[in-house]
Amino acid sequence: MSPFTIVFKNIGLAVAASIMNAVILTSVISSANSVMYASTRILYSLGKKEGAPKKFASIARNGIPVNALLATTAVCVVAFLTGNFGTQIYLLLVDLSSLTGFIAWIGISVSHIRFRRAFIAQGGDLSNLPYQAKWFPFGPIMSLIMTAMIVINLDPALLFSSHWGEGLAMYAAIPIFLALYLGYKWKYNTKLVPLKAVDLSRDK
């Protein structure tokens, strides 16, 4: 129950409490809808670009990527079921996904630095960019350093404690990411693209 709902209920405004519950429920449904759409489309795009199994790139007659939607829905169902099995499963899912956002920000920082360097190397004028991030390159460099420090120093002592299982779950995102990244590079034999060869016009 929301703290706002509890306050309204305790002061005798039952109608206001019900309205607040309705507003919160609407927000939750809207958020879930956005996440479902974004996750499905990301998985579909990965399937098209062979970054995920090709079956996720299949589309039904009505234009819906059904396989990607079903996979996303399955993960969401697991998340909802955590409420019926106590907090352990919920905490496990949180631990498994806790570092994913930080790893994503490392990728964003590296991509930003590479983009600006490639843009200048190819003779681009920064004034022509629709948006220029302030404090470059200090901003992305600091973001990269701080995020990397958080990832490394999140709670390494947990790995050597009696709760080592939680530590493994917490740091599982790192080996999973490395396995996917290095596996992709090995399979497709990709190399670091020179700054002057970076494609800055595709999907512009």
Question: Taking 80 as the threshold, does the pLDDT of residue 38 lie above it?
Answer: yes
Section 3-31 average pLDDT? 74
- Whether residue 159 lies inside any domain: the answer is yes
DSSP annotation of 156: G
Q: In whole angstroms, give the CA distance from residue 101 to residue 179.
A: 17
pLDDT at 86: 59
User: With bands split at pLDDT 50, 70 and 90, how would you rate the model's confidence at 141?
Assistant: very high
68, 79, 149 from 88: Cα distances, Å: 27, 12, 27
- Whether residue 69 lies inside any domain: the answer is no
Who contacts 83 (Cβ-Cβ below 8 Å, separation ≥6)?
A: 90
DSSP string across 61-125: TTS--HHHHHHHHHHHHHHHHGGGS-HHHHHHHHHHHHTHHHHHHHHHHHHHHHHHHHHHHTT--
Per the prediction, the chain carries an average pLDDT of 82
Which is more confidently placed, 61 or 170?
61
User: With bands split at pLDDT 50, 70 and 90, how would you rate the model's confidence at 2?
Assistant: low
Lowest-pLDDT range of 17-21, 51-55, 70-74, 116-120: 17-21
- Whether residue 93 lies inside any domain: the answer is yes
pTM given for the model: 0.64
Three-class SS string for 128-148? Answer: HCCCCCCCCCHHHHHHHHHHH
- Whether residue 48 lies inside any domain: the answer is no
Section 160-174 average pLDDT? 78
The listed range with the strongest mean pLDDT (46-55, 86-95, 139-148, 156-165) is 139-148
Section 165-177 average pLDDT? 81
- Whether residue 133 lies inside any domain: the answer is yes
Q: Please tell me the total count of domains within the chain.
A: 1
Domain that holds residue 143: 86-204
Section 190-198 average pLDDT? 89
